[in-house]
Structure 1
Amino acid sequence: MTREFTRVGVVGLGTMGAGIVEVFARNGVPVVAVEVSAAALDRGRANLTGSTDRAVSRGKLAEADRDALLGRVDFAVGLDALHSVDLVIEAVPERLDVKQRLFAELDRICHPQAILATNTSSLSVTEIAVSTGRPQQVVGVHFFNPAPVMKLVEIVRTVVTAADVVADVEALCARLGKVDVTIDDRAGFIANALLFGYLNQAVGMFEAGYATRADLDAAMKLGCGLPMGPLALLDLIGLDTAYEILETMYRRGGRNRRHAPVPLLRQMVTAGLLGRKTGRGFYTYERPGSSKVVPDELTPRPAQTGGVRAVGKVGVVGSGATAEGLVGILGDAGHPVVAVPAGADPSGLADVDLVVVASDTTTAARPVIEAAMATGRPADVVGLHFVQPPKAAPLVEIVRTVRTSAETVAAARALVADLGKTGVLCADRSGLVVDALLFPYLNDAVRMLEAGYSTVDDIDHAMKLGCGYPTGPFELLDAVGLDVALAVLRGVYREQREPGLAPAPLLENLVTAGYLGRESGRGFRAQPAAQG
């Protein structure tokens, strides 16, 4: 029989802890909310009332319901107030020594049947559990920020967590209206293990000068439909928090270089550039805690050039959906277009201002510089990658080679703007921006599945419900094609030789077996129809 949680405790009333209190109180569960001092308790109370007042002002919560919610919360200083609760969830800072001392105290104070839960996002639940005399009753219950809004909860069981404890917490999450995924105790769990490898890689690209912060963020928002770009998201999370999570995952997760913090991240933390909470991180904000970005000396400014070369008539060389889409886009923008099928006589292009060679193959296939050097005018060659589908997608990646002139880049930017698209400028490297960040993240998800850590459904749920992604990694792999993903990853790995970027053997094997995704009817989710 599932146990009844009649009263729960929450320790630590920062943004996350106050959000967890709100989740329980919204769903009719009385809460004891605990802090270490009266001042901290006042701040925690303000966090909770601020959140509920905003919900009322936005029409998400009736005033009477807010008052009832707040009436279910008892605020207290000191852990002794938790002596009679059925469950305690801690949301204190991500330091193992702090959590271990806290759990040793909770073990002493709470009644013997109480479940002790940690909201850690990356630390070892096992190492926390062994600081108590009841490790079988310790479990990870990882909420996502903001807890009242985000649907996902990762339930983390250790090798000694009792099965009935896991079942009881799963039932409680359902009572709270949350979707849970139950997993073993591994560094980063699902969501953070996948998210922070991607974020760390984005910092590395910025550090290397591959693209500006604004272009990196625009590329992932517009090219992948993500709610935030990676650098803006790091500012929201806090660069110090991100650094600690990456360090923990690197040490505990087999020293995967995908999780080794990029030096720039450590330098920014040392300099106190922690993101929104300090008013400055990758971006500068109106004030500490504000979300409003203001210009600062780090803001990239466009190079000063003379007149921009006008682009009138455009030639499109190629056959297939991409070429057809580009002809339509250019024509709709008022440009005369000369369309030349692949392999046809190109003499009709003699008087055009710009030639676009359109291909339906992956952008990782060949560097732009190879095409540029096949001409006698490499300074006039630039890559224009129209994200699929070209007519609907708002993003174009503008690829400059080491020989592309500033005048050519300016002309490409002007054309892209004329087409009503957003252009992001990047260097000539496999995967450009979007694919270079997206496909290693998808590859990490395949490796996680391959290791038997979680299921296709739970990994997709984790990224959609915990990170706000529009699709899960396996849904996306089936949509774009497993063979396309493999080709991109091979190109990126061949160029960078980074072990963490090597295609997962499971992906290689599935493609070899003809499991190519949705179009083939066989993939991670797409399965052939049953034979009757």
Structure 2
Amino acid sequence: MGPLSHNARIAVVGAGAMGAGIAQVAAQAGHPVLLLDQRPEAAAQAIAAIDQRLGQRVLKGKLEQSALEDVRRLQAAQSLEQLADSDLIIEAIAEQLPAKQQLFAELEALCRADCILASNTSSLSITAIAAGLQHPRRLLGLHFFNPAPVMALVEVVRGLASDPVLADRLYQTMSRWGKHPVHSRSTPGFIVNRVARPFYGESLRLLQEGAADCATLDALLREAGGFAMGAFELTDLIGQDINYAVTCSVHAAYYGDPRYQPSLIQKELVDAGYLGRKSGQGFYAYADGAPRPAAAGLTSDAVIEHCVLEGDLGWAAPLVQRLENQGVRVIRRDGRGLLRVGEAILAPSDGRPAGQRARDEGLGNNLVLLDLALDYRQASRLAVSCSGAIAPKALDQAVALLQRAGLQVSRLSDTPALAVLRTVAMLANEAADAVLQGVASAADIDLAMRSGVNYPQGPLAWADRLGLEPLLKVLENLQGAYGEERYRPSLLLRRYAAEGRGFHD
């Protein structure tokens, strides 16, 4: 069928930030666009604001004059009846199911039979929204991300009755609009709001357990994990009320599945009105002059000239090359993947707490576990953990070795899978279940997480790179340590690991 033509008439209902942004995107893609809002003059004011913003950018040389001409295609509508001749109508009103159902029932009665209806809902079921229509096949989800003119991702969401041909047409249209569309089935959270839950949930759990403070956990996700922001910085930016509400919604929609359990710490912030940047206080303070806490770190004055590598460090192997590049002599021996320096034994985490692993493997009290890094060659910080019984000299030697590699070292309590490894494992696990349940393809999930929330790598591509078998072991050890269904490995992850294949094979 192909994408909608450039002369196809687009209408957007709802002139808030999201609706106005979508209307701007459609106009800049070359379409005549009508913007409607039930509030008097809201649509006209939104169009004037768009024109002013773009005009300022043109004056600064950041946009061509043609961008303003594109916006001239955007007009305010005064009534639903003016939308009757539209080819695509996108709804962007409040997240209230009855209001959306009523709007689409009215639009269905007004519009041509070939007009495509789309909802920008981020949390409501497309199936439920379409349930009252005579022709539910024509309703789909088009979930843009805020701000729509900037964010590339659009989730094209199919309800139970949605026509797959129309889904493909919207997918191609979004591509023509310069977006990165992905197909998703209408399940709670679609792709991004579902798969992203562990990114917030695991940091919140680590904070609640006293593994480290907010600043340290955020720094580890940024400086070791390669994420643009840590979980506490990001939820302060999103709004603690909004992020908490999405978590509660997904948790309820999945009948209380512990994977999506909301955090009591976050609830307390919301109850207190500490909503993040917009209220001036969240996990961090945002008043003028408010100090920003620094990440905690360990330092050592010990001089380290050599270490002993026994076997292969697996995904932490690039760390050895980094040490050698800094002049550390590495003595290689056969073994089970350990790095020895003085009295300390270092090893990449496999998900077990250090105390348990040392006991299981007969390694004594001086085992120091290393967290995951996106790229050990480039990371500026790395988390370590050890049992409380470690000899101070051994911990000091381990820190000194990592300092020689140019790493800042942050110590976590003896927690399973540390911070970055735990987060990545749970993101990959959630993504694997989304593939298993037919929500989206592995390729679309990875694209959605890169484009929608700016992850440094798609979680399933990350899993392939790390290896599914060791990642499965991390999850099994996490589940064993906690004894909770929250950490149960995905059946698809188990299946692929047993078959020796990856998600992108």
What is the TM-score when the length of structure 2 is the normalising length? 0.85
Q: Secondary structure at the match of 1:276?
A: coil
- Taking the aligned partners of 1:275 and 1:382, their CA distance within structure 2 comes to 35
Q: What amino acid does structure 2 have at the position aligned with 1:523? A: G
Q: What amino acid does structure 1 have at the position aligned with 2:219? A: A
Matches within 5 A, 1:8-87: 8-38=10-40, 40-41=42-43, 44-45=46-47, 48-49=50-51, 52=54, 56=58, 60-62=62-64, 64-76=65-77, 79=80, 81-87=82-88
- Taking the aligned partners of 1:94 and 1:479, their CA distance within structure 2 comes to 38
Aligned to 1:364: 351
Change (3 A) 1:328 1:511: closer
Aligned to 2:274: 273
Change (3 A) 1:263 1:324: closer
Cα displacement string for residues 214-263 of structure 1 (whole angstroms, at most 9, x for unaligned residues): 22222222223222222222222222222222222222234322222212
Q: Does the 8 Å contact 1:362/1:487 carry over to 2?
A: no
Q: Secondary structure at the match of 1:204?
A: helix
Q: Does the 8 Å contact 2:12/2:19 carry over to 1?
A: yes
Matches within 5 A, 1:483-498: 483-498=469-484
Q: Secondary structure at the match of 1:121?
A: coil
Larger mean Cα displacement after TM superposition, 164-173 or 477-486: 164-173
User: 1:313 is matched with which residue: 304, 324, 327?
Assistant: 304
Matches within 5 A, 1:106-505: 106-107=107-108, 110-111=111-112, 113-286=114-287, 294-295=290-291, 299=293, 310-313=301-304, 316-320=307-311, 322=313, 329=322, 339=331, 341=333, 355-359=343-347, 362-365=349-352, 367-368=354-355, 371=358, 383-385=369-371, 387=373, 390-403=376-389, 419-505=405-491
- Taking the aligned partners of 1:141 and 1:324, their CA distance within structure 2 comes to 43
Shift of residue 188, structure 1, vs aligned partner: 0.9
Shift of residue 489, structure 1, vs aligned partner: 1.0
Aligned to 1:529: none
Count of residues in Structure 1 that have an aligned counterpart in Structure 2: 497
Shift of residue 187, structure 1, vs aligned partner: 0.7
- 5+ residue gaps, structure 2, are none
Cα displacement string for residues 130-150 of structure 1 (whole angstroms, at most 9, x for unaligned residues): 344442321111112332233
Aligned to 1:518: none
Change (3 A) 1:239 1:326: closer
Q: Does the 8 Å contact 1:154/1:182 carry over to 2?
A: yes
Q: Does the 8 Å contact 1:239/1:269 carry over to 2?
A: yes
- Taking the aligned partners of 2:15 and 2:487, their CA distance within structure 1 comes to 39
2:14 corresponds to 1:7:
no
Shift of residue 431, structure 1, vs aligned partner: 0.8
- Taking the aligned partners of 2:372 and 2:188, their CA distance within structure 1 comes to 37
User: 1:506 is matched with which residue: 488, 492, 498?
Assistant: 492
- Taking the aligned partners of 2:452 and 2:354, their CA distance within structure 1 comes to 36
Q: Secondary structure at the match of 2:196?
A: helix
- Taking the aligned partners of 1:259 and 1:457, their CA distance within structure 2 comes to 23
Shift of residue 118, structure 1, vs aligned partner: 0.8
- Taking the aligned partners of 1:188 and 1:138, their CA distance within structure 2 comes to 18
- Taking the aligned partners of 2:52 and 2:259, their CA distance within structure 1 comes to 37
Q: Secondary structure at the match of 1:278?
A: coil
Shift of residue 60, structure 1, vs aligned partner: 4.7
Shift of residue 35, structure 1, vs aligned partner: 2.8
Q: What amino acid does structure 2 have at the position aligned with 1:357? A: I
Cα displacement string for residues 379-401 of structure 1 (whole angstroms, at most 9, x for unaligned residues): x8754557476444323113253
2:92 corresponds to 1:91:
yes
Aligned to 1:530: none
Shift of residue 436, structure 1, vs aligned partner: 0.9
Larger mean Cα displacement after TM superposition, 49-58 or 99-108: 49-58
Q: Does the 8 Å contact 2:199/2:423 carry over to 1?
A: yes
Larger mean Cα displacement after TM superposition, 16-25 or 277-286: 277-286
- Taking the aligned partners of 1:385 and 1:212, their CA distance within structure 2 comes to 16
Q: Secondary structure at the match of 1:183?
A: strand
- Taking the aligned partners of 1:369 and 1:205, their CA distance within structure 2 comes to 18
Q: Secondary structure at the match of 1:224?
A: coil
Q: Secondary structure at the match of 2:412?
A: strand
Change (3 A) 1:286 1:101: farther
Q: Percent identity?
A: 31
- Taking the aligned partners of 1:38 and 1:309, their CA distance within structure 2 comes to 65
Q: Secondary structure at the match of 2:140?
A: strand
- Taking the aligned partners of 1:301 and 1:221, their CA distance within structure 2 comes to 11
Shift of residue 124, structure 1, vs aligned partner: 0.8
Change (3 A) 1:31 1:278: farther
Q: Does the 8 Å contact 2:198/2:423 carry over to 1?
A: no
Q: Secondary structure at the match of 2:150?
A: coil
- Taking the aligned partners of 1:338 and 1:164, their CA distance within structure 2 comes to 59
Q: Secondary structure at the match of 1:398?
A: strand
Shift of residue 433, structure 1, vs aligned partner: 0.5
Q: Does the 8 Å contact 1:238/1:276 carry over to 2?
A: yes
- 5+ residue gaps, structure 1, are 288-292, 516-521, 527-532
Say what the alpha-carbon RMSD is for the aligned residues: 3.6
- Taking the aligned partners of 1:451 and 1:420, their CA distance within structure 2 comes to 43
Change (3 A) 1:33 1:251: same
Q: Does the 8 Å contact 2:344/2:397 carry over to 1?
A: no
Q: Secondary structure at the match of 2:224?
A: helix
Cα displacement string for residues 162-192 of structure 1 (whole angstroms, at most 9, x for unaligned residues): 3443243233223212232223211111122
